[in-house]
């Protein structure tokens, strides 16, 4: 890292409430956690938001130091250096509260899902259980808000959403009558990935992350956005 400027350049894709732009300012849960982590070392960050494909391209062309809210894969490890996990993403099923829909504990979830209409994001891969469902069981939409609206209008029975995104949008859209269906959850650990040779940055992040957790800063960030980790 340039010791004179002490700025780490990072990119991510817009994904409120985790990172988004408001009045020309980037903010969000993951954004604030990462900024706070590097501040523990008196290191500034320059964070920009782009479509995910553009973020990956910037990393591959070594135009930035790192990318965040990225899941580990063996293939990505060949190119990037991963930090320790800094958050666990939880994707859950939601339902209209007016329905009595619930999962049976002793019945295979894949069999139960075939009997419902499920709202999912277009072009998004969830997990083998969801991705292998027949097209007739899935209704694809282009945005998170459309998942909530589809539930309320009865377009589908269930919607798959990140739990934090759901909490944020339900508040922002000022809607009610939507509940989580217990019994199924997709978990993914998320990281910051740095250029392969930037062990200095990965170490700074890992050490700083432990410090903000010890100080309670990590939990305070979630509280500030009204999201439970």
Mark whether 103 and 176 lie in a shared domain.
yes
Q: What is the pLDDT of residue 205?
A: 98
Flag whether 174 is in a domain. Answer: yes
Mark whether 83 and 93 lie in a shared domain.
no
Q: What is the pLDDT of residue 151?
A: 95
Name the strand (E) or helix (H) holding 111.
helix 109-113
Mark whether 154 and 144 lie in a shared domain.
yes
Residues 221, 229: contact at Cβ < 8 Å?
no
Flag whether 1 is in a domain. Answer: no
- pLDDT tens digits for 135-175? 889 999 999 999 999 999 999 999 999 999 999 999 999 99
Residues 185, 171: contact at Cβ < 8 Å?
no
Question: Which neighbouring-strand residues pair with 144?
Answer: none
Flag whether 100 is in a domain. Answer: yes
| Tokens representing residue 40 in the block | 């523990």
Flag whether 2 is in a domain. Answer: no
CATH number, domain of 132, equals: 3.40.190.10
Residues 91, 126: contact at Cβ < 8 Å?
yes
Mark whether 67 and 150 lie in a shared domain.
no
Mark whether 112 and 167 lie in a shared domain.
yes
**Residue partners of 56: CB distance under 8 A and separation at least 6:** 67
Output the CA angle 127-31-5, nearest 5 degrees. Answer: 130
| Tokens representing residue 3 in the block | 């010791």
Residue 127 belongs to what domain range?
Answer: 89-187
Mark whether 111 and 35 lie in a shared domain.
no
Q: What is the pLDDT of residue 123?
A: 84
Mark whether 74 and 143 lie in a shared domain.
no
Domain count, the chain: 2
Burial of 210 (0-12, 13-18, 19+ CB in 10 A): middle
Mark whether 98 and 17 lie in a shared domain.
no
Q: State which residues of the chain have pLDDT below 70.
A: 1-5
């Amino acid at each position: 890292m340039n010791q004179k400027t002490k700025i780490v350049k990072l990119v991510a894709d817009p994904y409120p409430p985790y990172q988004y732009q408001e009045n020309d300012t980037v903010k969000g849960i993951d954004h604030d956690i990462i900024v706070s982590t590097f501040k523990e070392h008196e290191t500034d960050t320059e964070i920009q938001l782009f479509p995910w494909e553009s973020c990956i391209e910037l990393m591959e062309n070594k135009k930035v130091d790192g990318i965040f809210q990225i899941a580990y894969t063996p293939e990505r490890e060949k190119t990037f250096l991963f930090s320790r996990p800094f958050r666990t993403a939880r994707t859950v099923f939601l339902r209209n509260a007016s329905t009595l829909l619930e999962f049976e504990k002793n019945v295979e979830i894949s069999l139960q899902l075939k009997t419902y209409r499920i709202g999912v994001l277009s072009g998004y891969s969830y997990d083998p259980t969801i991705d292998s469902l027949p097209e007739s069981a899935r209704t694809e939409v282009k945005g998170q808000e459309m998942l909530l609206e589809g539930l309320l209008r009865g377009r589908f029975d269930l919607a798959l959403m990140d739990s934090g995104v759901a909490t944020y949008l339900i508040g922002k859209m000022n809607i009610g009558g939507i509940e989580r269906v217990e019994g199924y959850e997709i978990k993914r650990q998320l990281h910051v990935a740095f250029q392969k040779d930037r062990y200095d940055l990965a170490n700074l992040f890992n050490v700083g992350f432990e410090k903000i957790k010890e100080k309670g800063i990590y939990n305070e960030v979630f509280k500030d956005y009204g999201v439970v980790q």
